Structure 1
Amino acid sequence: MTNKGAISNFIEKYYLHFNAAALVDAAKGYEAQLANGSKMMVTLAGAMSTGELGKIFAEMIRQDKVQIISCTGANLEEDIMNLVAHSHYKRVPNYRDLTPQEEWDLLEKGLNRVTDTCIPEEEAFRRLQKHIHKIWKDAEAKGERYFPHEYMYKMLLSGVLEEYYEIDLKDSWMYAAAEKNLPIVVPGWEDSTMGNIFASYVMKGELQASTVKSGIEYMEYLADWYIKNSDNGVGFFQIGGGIAGDFPICVVPMLYQDMEMEDTPFWSYFCQISDSTTSYGSYSGAVPNEKITWGKLDIDTPKFIIESDATIVAPLIFSYLLDM
């Protein structure tokens, strides 16, 4: 029996009802999946990287508590931006009170606001741009093509960013993932800053669109991974909603309905941390049972939904899984 730490003991003692109890149940269900030899996918939506989830998520990766990630293009790049430009970020605690003029002033200072945190354009976006552009160009010159996350891995592992590091490397989940060459799926990468920059080079005739592999190729990549890794089940731990979750969860019905691979197993565990409202018709806010009708979850799949703030809930669950 693993000895749990102070955070885990606190959670078990006081988190007894409602969303708090759902948090504990979900954490124990996640732990049981890993103990049974199941793999786990974690999906990252929202601004988890700018929220510095890497401080604990990197350790989850290092300790093999996650085997594959699906994330937005923003989360893919913003963890690296925080790595190289952390001291230039600006926190705005009173963000709810800002006037349009004050928002404009932030823009003119090159500070792009995400809730209470501003990402510095020059030190973050442009610092990465010159290095990733060279990596794209070099790949194209060799006739090579890679996924968005693979280009980011190349940049991190090449050492070209080392002179800029402003946080401890152990707090970067992308660096931890790069070291393990962890599979990542990045649906809709085009709407990220680096995706926009790449598109601009394509429009200017400097790069070919095919140099970065597409979303359809990501689905094929995910399907191949799922087939090879689902013998003991694959769990689905969804932080937030959106495309980071909607895209990968569809691989199961795609395989057994469209590919007619009828022995494809359902996702073996499902948990979502969300504050989306079901009555608005949102996919993100749908209760897990709705996913049964879409052929994603089985009747007996352990299902959890925690209606709360992921920036509060995810670190607590990860702390429990890390025996903290």
Structure 2
Amino acid sequence: MKGPISQFIEKNYLHFNAAALVDAAKGYETHLLDNGKMMITLAGAMSTAELGISLAEMIRQDKVHIISCTGANLEEDLMNLVAHNSYKRVPHYRDLSPQDEWDLLENHYNRVTDTCIPEEEAFRKLQKHLIGIWSKAEQSGERYFPHEYMYQILNSGELEQYYEIDPKNSWMLAAAEKNLPIVVPGWEDSTMGNIFASYCIKGTLKPSTMKSGIEYMTFLADWYTKNCEGKGIGFFQIGGGIAGDFPICVVPMLYQDMEMHDVPFWSYFCQISDSTTSYGSYSGAVPNEKITWGKLDITTPKFIVESDATIVAPLMFAYILGQ
């Protein structure tokens, strides 16, 4: 018996995007019941939207088997974990003048829509710990992926002194505890990526200490081929952008470029997006377009929920978790 949130959804969400939400959530459930695995991709500022409240439980209950996310989502979950009390909410953000924005900058607040991330408490607090493990790895001649450095810090317990939210609401902490595979394409396009680049420019670190995007793709190719048996691997895309575009391409790469003609297509696809197809945006493309790129099969269950992911994703996760 499902809980009250799921019952509310089933009773009220009967048409249009609401019905698509239910269909996609049921499809996700069916995929897992058939022993399929699932990739979730995180675009935008989903960590700052505190998706961890629901995503962490999905990870703990083995409802997700691999994550692809932007560098921003990777670090912003940790920032919220260690600096939540210093975040500043600006509900009237639409009324801010250029001078108001400048004042936020002067006070070391970086704004994401209605939420300002505190530079000193968030960025610099993490930076202190990251430079330590980056330097240690370089001195030992070791190289790791961006998320692996984050895992090392989390698993060491050195951040526990700073926790400002219930740690069960951090999806990165849940992922670190399970050593969940993560792919972070374009990590350089993040605050910590910029900071790492600055150390390389100063000569403090070498770029090679950080494993690259190409190495993420080769890792993903290996993971996919080892995990695609049986029902296969589903693709649950939150938003658009590189977090989704990068990993979905592993299938055509294996099939076309590696000539592995027995590699299966993604076996479930859902995207939560409000991007508009007619603008030529890949993020807004309907799932059928992906058939032409060798990513999805004709028979792959396909869903698109054209809505706000910050509203839709927690509801879908609640349904999948039976809440």
Deviation at 1:281, TM superposition (A): 0.3
Q: TM-score, normalised by structure 1?
A: 0.99
Q: Deviations over 1:118-151 (max 9, x none)?
A: 0000000000001000000000111000000000
Matching residue of 1:302: 301
Helix, strand or coil at the partner of 2:284: coil
Q: Secondary structure at the match of 1:146?
A: coil
Note the 1:56-205 alignment, pairs <5 A: 56-205=54-203
Distance 2:163 2:4 in 1: 32
Q: CA deviation at 1:277?
A: 0.3
What residue number does 1:265 align with? 264
Runs (4+) off by over 4 Å: none
Matched, 1:24 2:22: yes
SS in 2 for 1:42: strand
* % identical equivalent positions: 80
1:15-73: CA deviation from partner (whole Å, max 9, x where unpaired): 01100000000000000000001000000000000000001100000000000000000
| Aligned match of 1:282 | 281
> 1:258 deviation in Å?
0.2
Per-residue Cα deviation, 1:65-116 (whole angstroms, up to 9, x for no partner): 0000000000000000000000000000000110000000000000000000
Deviation at 1:168, TM superposition (A): 0.7
1:302-321 → structure 2 map (5 Å cutoff): 302-321=301-320
The one of 4, 7, 16 equivalent to 1:6 is 4
**Residues of 2 paired with 1:16 and 1:126: CA distance?**
47
What's the CA shift for 1:304? 0.2
Q: Secondary structure at the match of 2:82?
A: helix
* C-alpha separation in 2, matches of 1:276 and 1:23: 16
Distance 2:227 2:31 in 1: 14
**Shift in Å, 1:310:** 0.1
The residue type equivalent to 1:75 in the other structure is N
Q: Any unmatched runs of 5+ in structure 1?
A: none
Task: Give the whole-Å Cα distance in 2 for the aligned partners of 1:55 and 1:262.
Answer: 40
Q: Please list, as runs of the form range in 1=range in 2, the aligned pairs for 1:196-235 lying within 5 A after superposition.
A: 196-232=194-230, 233-235=232-234
Query: Aligned partners of 2:133, 2:156: CA distance in 1, in Å?
Result: 10
In structure 2, the gaps of 5 or more residues are none
The within-5 A match list for 1:13-52 is: 13-52=11-50
Determine the structure 2 residue equivalent to 1:242. 241
Instruction: Give the Cα–Cα distance (whole angstroms) in 2 for the partners of residues 173 and 49 of structure 1.
Output: 8
Aligned length: 322
User: 1:276, 1:126 → 2: CA distance?
Assistant: 34
Deviation for aligned residue 1:160: 1.2
Cα shift at 1:162: 1.1
